[in-house]
Amino acid sequence: MKSLEASEDNIQKYCKYNEQSWKWQEGIFQVEGIEQRQRTLKKTNFLVQYTKDRWIHYIQDGCMLRKDRALLSNEQPEIYKNLEHIKYLRWEGEYGGNQKKVGMWNAFWRGDNLKVGGLYNENGLKQGKWVNLFPNYNEQIFCFESSISQVTYSGYYNKGVKQGEWTSYLYDKQIASGIYNEYGQKNGIWYVCSKKSIKRDQMVTFVGEYDNGVKFGRWNIFFQSCFFYERQLIGGGDYNENGLKNGFWIDINENYNQLYRYVYFIISEYEILYTGLYDNGKKQGQWDIEFKDGRFAPSHPKMYLAIQNKFSGGGVYDENEQKTGKWIELHEDFRNVCQVILEGEYVKGIKQGKWITQFRLNLKHKFKIMQVAVQLFSGGGNYDLQGRKIGKWIDMNDNFWKQCQVIESGQYDCGKRKGSWIIKFRYTINKDFNKIGGGKYDDQGIKNGKWVEIFKSFQNSCQVILTGDYLDGKKVENWKISVRDHEKDRFQQIGGGTYDQNGLKDGKWIDLIENFTINNQVIMKGEYLFGKKQGQWNTLYKKDLKLDFYILAGGSYNKDGEKNGIWIDLNYSFGKEVGEFLYIFMGTYKNGLKMQQFTRKNLYLDE
CA-CA-CA-CA dihedral for 413, 419, 420, 426, to nearest 10 = 20
For residue 200, the model assigns a pLDDT of: 56
Give the Cα separation of 404 and 463 in Å (integer): 9
For residue 561, the model assigns a pLDDT of: 96
For residue 257, the model assigns a pLDDT of: 47
Rounded to a whole number, what is the largest CA-CA distance in the chain? 71
For residue 142, the model assigns a pLDDT of: 43
For residue 125, the model assigns a pLDDT of: 96
For residue 8, the model assigns a pLDDT of: 35
Give the Cα separation of 539 and 561 in Å (integer): 16
- Ranges of residues in the chain with a pLDDT under 70 are 1-21, 39, 140-149, 196-201, 226-229, 254-270, 293-311, 363-378, 575-581, 604-607
Task: Tell me how many helices (H) and strands (E) the chain has.
Answer: 2, 44
For residue 571, the model assigns a pLDDT of: 85
Full DSSP string of 525-559: EEEEETTEEEEEEEEEEESSTTSPPEEEEEEEE-T
Side chain identity at residue 534, one-letter code: Q
The size of the chain, in residues, is: 607
SS3 readout for 251-283: EECCCCCCCCCEECCEEEEEEEEEEEEEECCEE
Of the candidates 484, 535, 539, 490, which has an alpha carbon nearest to the alpha carbon of residue 511? 539
pTM (global) more than 0.75: yes
For residue 143, the model assigns a pLDDT of: 41
For residue 9, the model assigns a pLDDT of: 36
